[in-house]
């Protein structure tokens, strides 16, 4: 990336990437507090909601700034950047942008790039983890007061997400509300693809490691 050829929206993106990443962690924390604290002192919930609203506002400002800097017509911008449009509406999906954050962090530390498989594994694994946590919050939100629900606490929801993303599915817990099931459906689809990428890369990485070892000891 040469600064001379960098357009204004690329420069904006490069500079805002890390602050927005911390904002999305804040968003997640605020949402967690507001979901978990529904029976605690209302102050906590208010703090949580305040953080959620503030960080969400940042995301919208960033989206609009990029829309203006790109000089595209709005409809075209929405179509080209559909993933960003979806994310600005559902900030819980922000983990899916992890890959750029990842690169931004590595670029700042000026580290050499790691092995291809290791990078895919770390990116897909982290995204799946964050997406899973966001899904646990969402499902907990819907299920916590449903009659006959088996997912009662946030801890239960996290355990349920572990079961689900690994496709083990013991069935000691399962969503019973339509809202929880819809979130579960998207979580399965997205998370499975990401975890499949982790498993596949691990397998390829292992084969590569064994193959390299063969080449290094040809006399054997």
Q: Measure the CA–CA gap between 192 and 194, rounded to whole angstroms.
A: 5
Q: Measure the CA–CA gap between 167 and 74, rounded to whole angstroms.
A: 40
Q: Pattern 165-194, binding to its own copies, x per CB under 8 A? A: -xxxxxxxxx-x-x--x--xx--xx--xx-
Cα distance between the two ends of the chain: 44
At its nearest, how many Å lie between its own copies and the CB of residue 55?
28
**Closer to its own copies at the Cβ: 31 or 123?**
123
> Considering the rule CB under 8 A, would residue 147 count as an interface residue with its own copies?
no
> Considering the rule CB under 8 A, would residue 163 count as an interface residue with its own copies?
yes
Work out whether the CA dihedral 127, 132, 133, 137 comes out positive or negative: positive
Q: Measure the CA–CA gap between 69 and 193, rounded to whole angstroms.
A: 33
Q: Measure the CA–CA gap between 65 and 20, rounded to whole angstroms.
A: 13
> Considering the rule CB under 8 A, would residue 80 count as an interface residue with its own copies?
no
**Closer to its own copies at the Cβ: 13 or 48?**
13
Measured CA angle at 207 (ends 202, 213), to 5 deg:
125
> Considering the rule CB under 8 A, would residue 7 count as an interface residue with its own copies?
no
Q: Measure the CA–CA gap between 191 and 118, rounded to whole angstroms.
A: 18
**Closer to its own copies at the Cβ: 10 or 204?**
204
**Closer to its own copies at the Cβ: 43 or 170?**
170
Q: For residue 160, give the nearest of 135, 179, 197 by alpha carbon.
A: 135
Q: Pattern 41-60, binding to its own copies, x per CB under 8 A? A: --------------------
C-alpha Rg value of the chain to the nearest Å: 21
Piece of the chain touching its own copies by CB under 8 A; list 17-25, 42-50, 69-77, 199-207? 199-207
State the DSSP code for 114: -
At its nearest, how many Å lie between its own copies and the CB of residue 203?
4
The correct pick among 27, 117, 133, 142 for binding its own copies (CB under 8 A) is: 117
Residue by residue, DSSP assigns 23-53 as HHHHHHHHHHHHHHGGGS-HHHHHHHHHHHH
In the complex, the residues that contact its own copies under the rule CB under 8 A are: 1, 103, 107, 112-113, 116-117, 119-120, 123-124, 155, 159, 162-164, 166-174, 176, 178, 181, 184-185, 188-189, 192-193, 195-204, 206-207, 210-211, 213-214, 217, 220
């Amino acid at each position: 990336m040469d600064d001379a050829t960098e357009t204004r929206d690329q420069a904006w993106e490069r500079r805002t990437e890390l602050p927005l990443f911390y904002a999305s962690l804040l968003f997640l924390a605020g949402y967690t507090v507001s979901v978990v604290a529904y029976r605690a002192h209302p102050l906590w919930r208010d703090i949580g909601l305040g953080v959620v609203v503030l960080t969400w506002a940042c995301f919208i400002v960033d989206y609009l700034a990029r829309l203006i800097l790109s000089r595209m017509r709005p409809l075209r911008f929405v179509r080209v950047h559909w993933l960003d449009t979806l994310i600005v509406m559902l900030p819980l999906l922000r983990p899916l942008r992890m890959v750029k954050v990842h690169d931004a962090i590595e670029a700042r530390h000026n580290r050499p790039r790691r092995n291809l498989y290791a990078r895919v594994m770390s990116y897909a694994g982290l995204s799946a983890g964050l997406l899973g946590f966001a899904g646990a919050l969402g499902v907990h939100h819907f299920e916590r007061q449903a009659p006959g629900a088996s997912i009662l606490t946030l801890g239960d929801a996290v355990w349920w997400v572990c079961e689900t993303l690994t496709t083990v599915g013991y069935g000691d817990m399962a969503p019973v509300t339509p809202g929880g099931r819809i979130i579960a459906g998207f979580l399965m689809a997205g998370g499975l693809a990401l975890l499949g990428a982790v498993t596949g890369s691990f397998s390829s990485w292992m084969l590569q490691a064994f193959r390299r070892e063969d080449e290094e000891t040809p006399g054997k």
